């Protein structure tokens, strides 16, 4: 259980090392790991370790410093794993493809084709 009493999300469980993932970067509050179903040569999920914020809008309003930290980790991942150029994709809302309500960003990098966006 989390401090809110809810079941931990899959991303909280990855951050806690309860579910294996290929973690490529982390800070005290952020974790970044390779997506299990990559949609680009480099496809890394970057997310807060705690699932307090459902989507990027809530995160921006509730803790803008944490959002800035997430973006900085995304930048570092793109620099470390590719040439530093990257797309940063959020999918807030079920209609945009979100199925787990724990904010995360997709870093897409490395040989991106025009118009290739992750779902």
Please give the residue ranges that form the binding site for ligand 5GP (CB under 6 A): 10, 19, 21, 33-37, 45, 91, 97-100, 104, 119
Give me the least distance between CB of 103 and ligand 5GP, in Å please: 9
Q: What minimum distance in Å lies between the beta carbon of 21 and ligand 5GP? A: 4
Shortest distance in whole angstroms from residue 106 CB to ligand 5GP:
6
DSSP output for 23-91: EEEE-SSEEEEE-SS-SSSEEEEEEESS---SSHHHHHHH-HHHHHHHHHHHHHHHHHHSSS--EEE--
| CB closer to ligand 5GP, 21 vs 66 | 21
Angle (CA) 11-13-19 rounded to 5° is 105
Please, which residue, 33 or 86, has the CB nearer to ligand 5GP? 33
Nearest distance from residue 48's CB to ligand 5GP, in Å? 13
**For residue 73, which phi and psi values (nearest 5 degrees)?**
-65, -40
Which residue is closest to ligand 5GP by CB? 36
């Amino acid at each position: 259980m989390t401090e809110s009493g809810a079941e931990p999300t899959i991303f909280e469980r990855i951050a806690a090392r309860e579910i294996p993932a290929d973690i490529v970067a982390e800070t005290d509050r952020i974790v970044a790991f390779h997506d299990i179903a990559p949609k680009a040569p480099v496809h890394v999920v970057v997310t807060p370790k705690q699932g307090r914020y459902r989507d990027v809008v809530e995160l921006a309003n509730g803790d803008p410093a944490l959002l800035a930290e997430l973006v900085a980790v995304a930048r570092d991942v793109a620099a470390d794993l590719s040439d530093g150029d990257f797309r940063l994709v959020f999918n807030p809302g079920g209609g945009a493809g979100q199925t787990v309500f724990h904010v995360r960003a997709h870093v897409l990098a490395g040989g991106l084709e025009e118009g290739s966006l992750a779902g």
